[in-house]
Structure 1
Amino acid sequence: MSEFQVLYESSDALGPLIVLDSKTTRTLSFGDNDEQSKLLKLQPHIPQHTYLQAMLLVLLFQQPKRVMVLGLGGGGLIHALKHFDAGIKMTAVELRPQVIELAKRYFQLPMSKKLTIEQADAAEFLAAKQHKKVDIIFADIYSAEGVDDKQLSAAFIADASAMLKAEGVLVLNCWKEHSQDRALLARLQQHFAQVSACLTGGGNWVIFATKRDQQMTISGLKNKAQQLSQQLDFPLARLLTRFDVWS
Structure 2
Amino acid sequence: MFNQGEIVHHTRDAIGSILVVDYRKHRVMTFNSIFEQSKIDRRHPHLPVHEYNRAMMLPAAFMTPQHVTVLGLGGGVMVTGFHHLLPECHIHAVELRQSVVDVAREYFSLPDSARVRVTVADAREALENMPSASTDFLLSDLYSHDRMSPTQAQKQFVDDCSRVLTDAGWLVLNYHRTPDPEGPYFQQLRQHFSVVLLLRTRSNNTVIYASKQGFDALSSKDPKLQALESHFPIGWRQLMTKVTRV
User: Would you say the 8 A contact 2:131–2:164 is kept in 1?
Assistant: no
Please list the CA deviations of residues 2-33 of structure 1 after superposition, one character each: whole Å capped at 9, or x if unmatched.
33111122222322211111232211001221
Q: Give the secondary-structure state (helix, strand or coil) at the position aligned to 1:188.
A: helix
- Structure 1 residues 168, 50: closer, same or farther in 2, change over 3 A? same
CA distance in 2, matches of 1:177, 1:87: 34
Mark the runs of 5 or more structure 1 residues left unpaired by the alignment: none
Q: Distance in 1 between matches of 2:146 and 2:5?
A: 22
* 2:51 alignment counterpart: 50
- Report the Cα distance in structure 2 between the residues aligned to 1:54 and 1:137, rounded to whole angstroms: 14
Tell me the SS of whatever aligns to 1:147.
coil
**Paired residue type of 1:147:** M
Q: Distance in 2 between matches of 1:169 and 1:127?
A: 18
SS in 2 for 1:108: coil
What is the SS of the residue equivalent to 1:90?
strand
Deviations 1:70-108 (A, max 9, x none): 000001111211221122100000001100000011111
1:242 has 2:242 as partner: yes
Q: Do the aligned partners of 1:176 and 1:199 also contact (CA within 8 Å) in 2?
A: no
CA apart distance, 1:176: 3.3
Describe how 1:59-208 pairs up with structure 2 within 5 A: 59-130=60-131, 133-180=134-181, 182-208=183-209
Contact 2:133 2:163 in 1 (8 A): no
Q: Aligned-pair RMSD on alpha carbons?
A: 1.7
1:22-46 superposed Cα distances (whole Å, 9 cap, x missing partner): 2322110012212100111110111
Change (3 A) 1:114 1:133: same
Q: How many residues align?
A: 245
CA distance in 1: counterparts of 2:142 and 2:92, whole angstroms: 15
Task: Give how far 1:226 is off.
Answer: 2.2
Runs (4+) of structure 1 moved beyond 3 Å? Answer: 216-219
Tell me, in whole angstroms, the C-alpha distance in 2 between the residues paired with 1:135 and 1:210: 10
Q: CA deviation at 1:130?
A: 4.5
The amino acid of 2:206's aligned partner reads W
Which TM-score applies when normalising by structure 2? 0.94
Contact persistence 1:195–1:210 (CA under 8 A): yes
Shift of 1:217: 5.1
Q: Render the CA deviation track for 1:119-156: whole Å, top value 9, x for unaligned.
A: 00111101123587011001011111221110121101
Please say if residues 27 and 36 of structure 1, whose CA atoms lie closer than 8 Å, have aligned partners that are also in contact: yes
- Match of 1:178, SS state, is coil
Gaps of 5+ in 2: none
Distance of 1:216 and 1:17 partners within structure 2 = 40
